[in-house]
């Protein structure tokens, strides 16, 4: 909708980076309070932050890269040389969760409660970040007469131009479904639901499981409406990579949730999100 690319020496500022930084700052502030309530020190909070960022970055990159490598579309040696070419949300989610779990174990903190305190923030960060996607014109939906047209230099505009769907010099792209806004609203709604669940639950890990189940359900169905060029399939036109991943994550999250619900409630549950 309003893409921008501001050069600052060797760095550049785009809507994606701006709202990603904003999301990290807001979520980090809330997560710090939650981890302190669990018994972490300020230094420990920094360790968790580094673990989440490192694990998330590696997971996001591998999730994007490995399917291309399996299909023979890219050489394994390009893993690092093309690091900035793409990433995947599911990879960041899984990689970040694994790194946080390892960090919690190393510090002697309860892993399920740590996941609740940290990964329960993911929907809020996701919702804020998708505002940047809307401004940048990426992660968009299918063509729709009731949709939104994106400005020049946006991914939507450039993709349609290369496909011959619009002529050179067109003011905006053809109207598409603004999936990014749906994503943002869903992220905020899921975060609100997790906050309420966290205040009532006495089973550590339940918030994290609910987050995985809720997002996977949404992602599976919203993929049918998305139309950006990063959507890929494992040799099938029926489901995308993200939909297959959503099925796996949903089943794993649902199994964990059911197992937790069968357990006797703890005397003190997960830290209530605030």
pLDDT digits (tens, 9 = 90+) for 31-40: 999 999 999 9
**Residue 83 and residue 61 in contact, taking contact as beta carbons nearer than 8 Å:** yes
**pLDDT tens across 94-149, in order?**
999 999 999 999 999 999 999 999 999 999 999 999 998 898 888 899 999 999 99
Q: Kindly report, residue by residue over 1-56, the tens digit of the pLDDT.
A: 555 555 555 555 677 778 888 998 999 999 999 999 999 988 889 999 999 989 98
Q: Which residues of 18-56 are buried (b: 16+ CB within 10 A; e: fewer)?
A: bbbeebbeebbebbbebbeebebeeebbebbbebbeebb
Query: 61 falls in which pLDDT band (50, 70, 90)?
Result: confident
pLDDT tens figures, 201-212: 889 999 999 999
Mean per-residue pLDDT, 261-270: 64
pLDDT value at residue 269:
46
Q: What is the mean pLDDT of the chain?
A: 84
β partners of residue 226: 141
Q: Spell out where 80-188 has E strands.
A: 143-148, 176
pLDDT exceeds 70 at position 230? no
For the chain, the domains span: 6-262
Q: When comparing pLDDT for 78 and 260, which is higher?
A: 260
Nearest to 272 by CA among 154, 113, 150, 122: 113
pTM of the model: 0.84
């Amino acid at each position: 909708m309003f893409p921008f690319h501001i050069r600052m020496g060797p760095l550049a500022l785009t809507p994606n980076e701006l709202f990603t930084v904003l999301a990290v700052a807001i979520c980090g502030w809330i997560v710090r309070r939650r981890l302190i309530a669990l018994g972490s020190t300020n230094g420990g909070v920094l360790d968790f932050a580094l673990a989440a960022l490192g694990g998330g970055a590696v997971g996001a990159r591998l999730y994007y890269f490995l399917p291309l490598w399996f299909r023979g579309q890219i050489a394994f040696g390009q893993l690092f040389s093309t690091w900035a070419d793409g990433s995947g949300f599911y990879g960041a989610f899984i990689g970040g969760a694994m790194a946080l779990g390892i960090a919690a174990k190393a510090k002697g903190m309860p892993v399920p409660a740590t996941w609740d305190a940290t990964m329960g923030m993911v929907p809020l960060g996701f919702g804020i970040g998708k505002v940047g996607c809307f401004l940048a014109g990426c992660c968009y939906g299918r063509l729709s007469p009731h949709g939104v047209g994106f400005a020049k230099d946006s991914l939507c505009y450039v993709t349609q131009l290369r496909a011959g769907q619009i002529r050179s010099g067109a003011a905006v792209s053809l109207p598409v479904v603004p999936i990014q806004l749906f994503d943002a609203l869903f992220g905020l709604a899921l975060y609100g639901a997790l906050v309420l669940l966290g205040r009532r639950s006495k089973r550590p890990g339940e918030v994290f499981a609910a987050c995985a189940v809720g997002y996977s359900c949404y992602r599976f169905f919203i993929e049918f409406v998305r139309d950006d060029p990063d959507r890929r399939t494992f040799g099938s036109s029926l489901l995308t990579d993200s939909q297959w991943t959503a099925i796996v994550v949903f089943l794993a999250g649902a199994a964990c949730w059911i197992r937790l619900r069968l357990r006797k409630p703890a005397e003190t549950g997960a830290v209530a999100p605030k």
